[in-house]
Chains A and B, each alone.
Chain A
Amino acid sequence: MTTPILEMKSITKTFPGVKALDNVSFRVAQGEIHCLVGENGAGKSTLMKVLSGVWPYGSYDGDILFGGEVQKFKGIADSERVGIAIIYQELALFPQLTVYENIFLGHEIRKGALVDWNETIKQADKMLKKVKLSVNPAAKIKDLGVGKQQLVEIAKALSKDVKLLILDEPTAALNEDDSENLLTLLRELKEQGVTCIMISHKLKEVIEIADTVTVLRDGQTVVTLDAQKGEVSEPVLIKHMVGREIDSVFPKREHKRSEEVVLEVKNWNAHSQQLGRDVVKDANFNLKKGEIVGFAGLMGSGRTELALSLFGNSIGYQVKGDLFLNGQKQQFKQPEDAIRAGLAYVTEDRKAKGLILIQDVKQNITLANLHEIARRGVVDNEAEIGVANEYRTSLNIKTPSIEQKVKNLSGGNQQKVSLGKWLFVKPNVLILDEPTRGIDVGAKFEIYTLMNGLVEQGMSIIMISSELPEVLGMSDRVYVVASGRITGELPIEEATQEKIMQLATS
């Protein structure tokens, strides 16, 4: 191996209650393209944040050697100074500013106390040529596509004399042409001596471009593979990525086969106005009575967008396609319509989109179905207390009182309140988006048991989950989603972590 430009030695980083990185060692050779792969939560982003100084020196254990010297970054500015640049998935450009302003933002070219705009434009043009982007430097960022914006980010990094370029899922939001362009550019930058670390979920790309691949799992380095020695292949990568320790126990349930289709979705497309791209493409799937269908995939694959677009949250989405509920074609203009038709959606982000944190348990539980406990628009307090107490007991919500504000509850209990709210709607189809994210093992088990009880009573559940063990442990059938498309359907008997990961990274 050639001399390493970067060496991270025994990095350990803990957050309250979680060890995000556990004694990770990571070497990047001078002038190579080094890919970092792993499941969601494996620790890739945390590792890069340690490297770039987002988590400053002292907040982690271990050493960072860059260019042979121990570095103690206190912030991003320090890591930039030695030539490390990181480009995040969510681009950090200013849409209202021009290309040249963006490229030199924070390190403006000055003439005395003033900005030398002419020189800035000249230099910007030079950087743009380097990344093979032919746009007017005076164009505004908001008028460029995502692919071009990505190139501007790289131009910005180059203008800072970057030695090590880190890209966090650079192609996640790009179409195939743009992705191909980007990979070509990375190869050219390599020729020019820029070392590159790329985090990616698209294994085909990784195989195409990587000189070396490091696999992380559960905050530990699993293996580092050398492409030149022919060690890198899709099955090998998948084998190392999956197999996370199963930290939950799944209550047993018989997989029933009902042929009664409750929900059928055909040729479903959703276009996000905010992102300016299609987030769901030609989705076809169905859900049968009393069934739990798992929607597996990586974060950002479009599963939440699929659920929201089905649920009538069309504010941000333009949807096309047909939705049949119990055989009847339905069109939901707003969530209210979907709820009335018997759908319920428990969001993945309970704090931002699920609960009203400043209100109490009781008010949160009844919110989606207040009319049920109201007469002529006046809420029946007694009935409301009855309902709240019922769900508090049946879901085992641990709270001193149903008049406790939800913000004071633990994550698991908040999730139960969120569930209670949707169960009170008495839906036929329950969509659970990451139902056990960020909650403890005990609460997880309770939620799994609850789900089994619900399908037993004839409810049908769509479970969106990024946790493979959870998908395998709970589902009767699995759909895999990648880049907005359903890339496969697996009966539970045939589903394995490897197969799902393969479909999820295609």
Chain B
Amino acid sequence: MTFFQDLQKVLRQNVREYGMYIALFVIMAIFTVLTDGLFLSPRNISNLINQMGYIAVLAVGMTLVIVIRHIDLSVGFLAGFLGAVAAILMVQYGVPAVAVVPLVLVLGVCAGLITAFLIVYFGIPAFVATLAGWMIYRGLLLQATMGTGTIIIPNADFNAIGNGFIPDIPFLDFIPGHALTLLLGIVAIVFFVLGQINDRKRKKTYGFEVLPGAIFALKLVFISAIVGLVAWTMAGYNGISWTAVIVLLVVGVYHFITTRTVLGRHVYAVGGNPEAADLSGVSVSKITYVVFASMGFLTALSGILFASRLQSATTTAGTLFELDAIAAAFVGGVSAAGGVGTIIGSLIGALVMASLSNGMNLMGVDISIQYIAKGFVLALAVIFDAANRRRGA
């Protein structure tokens, strides 16, 4: 078989997975051309990542929620409210940022557990339970900011989370740009390539189907090039932002949990067939608690990222975050029927949506058109999924 026939076959078989990367690539390419390269400028890429951070972490949590056949509408205002709580603790009570962050994260977990309790114990549909949460947290956010209006956060440590960059290594000055960023990029590529080669070898020994050699090489080169390009671009500016570090960490940990651990397998089992999972000794209620607790944790993180980015807590913080996160997850290939969806997919979904906003903003496209365009992309992604499933892929 020739290289192109191979390529065609592989693309057809993994049309969903690769389609997403290709879509992202195409979107980025189009915006780069339309903005005369402004879109891919180091400054803009850095901005783009910081802008999508708080939605990306929500999308990661939402992925698992939708995988187990639920939904969480409360995360937007919960994030806003927890951001306000963080601001108040720092501004009015003078609590240091290092104490505020873990405290707020714990509060997020508690909020998630309350949601799960309503769903598991009372059997309330998640849609309704979290719609109630949506209203309650919105009210709480307004209460918290009622006396003061927008609360300005003067804490530099806290604000660095959403605006700062990782420090450089001082004695590597001879390398142009941000050395640590470049170094991390190279390390990431090396680990990725070695890991992939190892994995392929192992699969081969078990006689599993693997990508044909040439395609495999192409995949490695393609992904390495993207990682390298991003690292190089960032190094040319201020290096990797703390937001990017946090997002990568969250995605890495969740990717590991979902693909490698017993817990992750149980989550997908519950999503794939709750009755079968239950009869196989997987406690559906326990998984529901864990997933919503994780959602609460990530919501708190999102709230911190957003408040830090704006360096303030506002009365409308978190508005519509939940829908952006849900859209990102669906664009990323999560199925509303449950049991299907990956963390990486949702990250890409969040990137696609953020790129659309960012690119259209650069071009000065009116916000009304932006919504319409994003709506079409979401609909297309889901239509694509449905067609794919019908084909039995």
Tell me the A residues contacting B by CB distance below 8 Å. 311, 313, 315, 334-336, 338-340, 345, 347, 352-359, 363, 367-368, 370-371, 374, 377-379, 381-382, 385, 389, 401, 403, 408, 421
Among the listed stretches B11-19, B275-283, B359-367, which one makes contact with chain A, having 4 or more residues with CB under 8 Å of it? B275-283
Other-chain residue from A359, A371, A421 in contact with B268 (beta carbon distance below 8 A): A359
In the A-B complex, list the 6 residue pairs whose CB atoms are closest, starting with the nearest.
Answer: A356-B272, A336-B281, A368-B280, A339-B281, A370-B262, A356-B273
Decide if B262 touches A374 in the complex (CB within 8 Å): yes
Could you say which residues of chain B place their CB within 8 Å of the CB of A374?
261-262
Minimum distance in angstroms from B25 CB to a CB of chain A: 28
A374 nearest CB neighbor, chain B only: B262
Other-chain residue from B260, B268, B273, B282 in contact with A355 (beta carbon distance below 8 A): B273
With A358-B339, A359-B272 as given contacts, are A367 and B208 in contact (CB-CB < 8 Å)? Answer: no
Other-chain residue from A313, A358, A367 in contact with B340 (beta carbon distance below 8 A): A358
Other-chain residue from B206, B263, B339 in contact with A377 (beta carbon distance below 8 A): B263
Could you say which residues of chain B place their CB within 8 Å of the CB of A335?
278-281
Q: Quick check: is B266 within 8 A (CB to CB) of the other chain?
A: yes
Decide if A334 touches B283 in the complex (CB within 8 Å): yes
Q: Quick check: is B209 within 8 A (CB to CB) of the other chain?
A: yes
Q: Quick check: is B201 within 8 A (CB to CB) of the other chain?
A: no
- Interchain pairs with CB closer than 8 A, number: 84
Could you say which residues of chain A place their CB within 8 Å of the CB of B207?
401
Decide if B260 touches A378 in the complex (CB within 8 Å): yes
Could you say which residues of chain A place their CB within 8 Å of the CB of B277?
356, 367
How long is the Cα–Cα vector from A363 to B262 in the complex, in angstroms? 11
Could you say which residues of chain B place their CB within 8 Å of the CB of A315?
278
Could you say which residues of chain A place their CB within 8 Å of the CB of B262?
370-371, 374, 377-379
Decide if B273 touches A357 in the complex (CB within 8 Å): yes
Q: Quick check: is B105 within 8 A (CB to CB) of the other chain?
A: no
Q: Quick check: is B265 within 8 A (CB to CB) of the other chain?
A: yes
Decide if A353 touches B279 in the complex (CB within 8 Å): yes
Minimum distance in angstroms from A349 CB to a CB of chain B: 9
Could you say which residues of chain A place their CB within 8 Å of the CB of B272?
356-359
With A336-B281, A353-B275 as given contacts, are A359 and B263 in contact (CB-CB < 8 Å)? Answer: no
Could you list 10 further interchain pairs (A-B, Cβ under 8 angstroms) beyond the known A356-B339, A358-B272, A367-B265? A315-B278, A347-B279, A352-B273, A353-B275, A359-B339, A367-B269, A368-B281, A370-B266, A379-B261, A379-B262
Could you say which residues of chain B place their CB within 8 Å of the CB of A385?
206
How long is the Cα–Cα vector from A175 to B272 in the complex, in angstroms? 38
The interface bits of chain B over 187-211 (1 if a CB of A lies within 8 angstroms of the residue's CB, else 0) are 0000000000000001000111100
With A401-B208, A401-B209, A421-B280 as given contacts, are A363 and B275 in contact (CB-CB < 8 Å)? Answer: no
B255-303 contacts to A, CB under 8 A, are 260-263, 265-266, 268-269, 272-273, 275-283
Could you say which residues of chain A place their CB within 8 Å of the CB of B280?
335, 339, 367-368, 421
How long is the Cα–Cα vector from A151 to B53 in the complex, in angstroms? 62
From B262, B276, B277, B392, residue with most partner A Cβ within 10 Å: B276
Other-chain residue from A340, A345, A367 in contact with B282 (beta carbon distance below 8 A): A367
How long is the Cα–Cα vector from A379 to B268 in the complex, in angstroms? 14
A340 nearest CB neighbor, chain B only: B281
B340 nearest CB neighbor, chain A only: A358
Other-chain residue from A355, A379, A381 in contact with B276 (beta carbon distance below 8 A): A355
Decide if B279 touches A345 in the complex (CB within 8 Å): yes
Decide if B206 touches A379 in the complex (CB within 8 Å): no
Decide if B279 touches A370 in the complex (CB within 8 Å): no
Decide if B208 touches A403 in the complex (CB within 8 Å): yes
Minimum distance in angstroms from B126 CB to a CB of chain A: 18
Decide if A377 touches B261 in the complex (CB within 8 Å): yes
A386 nearest CB neighbor, chain B only: B206
Q: Please name 26 pairs of A and B residues whose Cβ atoms are closer than 8 Å in the assembled complex, sorted by A.
A: A336-B283, A339-B281, A340-B281, A347-B276, A347-B279, A353-B279, A355-B276, A356-B277, A356-B339, A358-B339, A359-B339, A363-B269, A367-B265, A370-B265, A371-B262, A374-B261, A374-B262, A378-B261, A379-B260, A379-B262, A381-B260, A385-B206, A389-B206, A401-B209, A403-B208, A408-B392
From A311, A338, A345, A381, residue with most partner B Cβ within 10 Å: A381
Minimum distance in angstroms from B17 CB to a CB of chain A: 15
Could you say which residues of chain A place their CB within 8 Å of the CB of B265?
363, 367, 370, 379
With A334-B283, A335-B280, A368-B280 as given contacts, are A352 and B209 in contact (CB-CB < 8 Å)? Answer: no
Could you say which residues of chain A place their CB within 8 Å of the CB of B392?
408
Minimum distance in angstroms from A444 CB to a CB of chain B: 23
The interface bits of chain B over 34-67 (1 if a CB of A lies within 8 angstroms of the residue's CB, else 0) are 0000000000000000000000000000000000
How long is the Cα–Cα vector from A367 to B274 in the complex, in angstroms? 12
Decide if B276 touches A353 in the complex (CB within 8 Å): yes
B272 nearest CB neighbor, chain A only: A356
Minimum distance in angstroms from A157 CB to a CB of chain B: 34
B161-180 contacts to A, CB under 8 A, are none
The interface bits of chain B over 236-272 (1 if a CB of A lies within 8 angstroms of the residue's CB, else 0) are 0000000000000000000000001111011011001
